[in-house]
Amino acid sequence: MAVERARDIYVEEIMSKVPVVGSPDLTAKDLAVLMRAMKVGSVIIVKDGCPMGIVTERDFVDKLVAEDRKPGEVRAENIMTAPLVTIGPRESVAEAGRKMARLQLRRLPVVMDNRLVGMLTENDITRLSPSLIEITREWKNINIPVEDVREPEALIGYCENCENFSYDLRQTGGVTGRGHLLCAECRDIFLREPTE
């Protein structure tokens, strides 16, 4: 009896098929209102039917708030991230996850024949398989050349010790064990405790 190989799950099967789009001449204020109304964290900027960039919450922080610019005066084309990093609808979700981890992205516009056909987010992948994002991040770390090894990346979530939300969770514990994800305060306590 032949064993059937599990098929890949394609991006088009889990992506949002109606991404939120805007034109390059919209103001940052227009984009913020649109994002709030649609309950999304980004808007794809489209010109003549072709995607040309993306405006994310990070763009608002880095290119608007941090530079003290007026949202009603700044155009989308001046704060969007471009060129756009995309993925095709027939790419595997695993490949999309690896790409997102490698480039440290939380969303990928899905493009076919230079036309926007969807949006894939980290949440879409997590809903499919919560462990896939973690696996792809580990895959990225495994494939870093030895000379590029850096301080471990901070994660966002709840500390496994005090259960407080933190933007600076890091893996602690022995090399052989999984250790725990701890916030900065709990890591300090952990490092100060004498080992038996």
Q: Kindly report, residue by residue over 33-84, the tens digit of the pLDDT.
A: 999 999 999 999 999 889 999 999 999 999 999 999 999 999 999 999 999 9
Whether this prediction's pTM lies above 0.75 is answered by no
What is each CA distance from 43 to 19, 102, 113, 196, in whole angstroms?
A: 8, 22, 20, 54
CB atoms within 10 A of CB 159: 19
- Per domain, the residue ranges of the chain are 11-131, 151-196
Rounded Cα gap, residues 50 and 46, in angstroms: 5
Rounded Cα gap, residues 155 and 167, in angstroms: 6
Pick the CATH number of 11-131 from 3.30.1050.10, 3.10.20.30, 3.10.580.10, 3.90.110.10: 3.10.580.10
What the block records as the tokens of 31 is 């984009």
* Helical ranges in 19-143 per DSSP H: 28-38, 57-60, 76-79, 93-103, 122-128, 130-142
Q: Kindly report, residue by residue over 158-194, the tens digit of the pLDDT.
A: 788 888 877 777 877 644 445 677 888 888 777 665 5
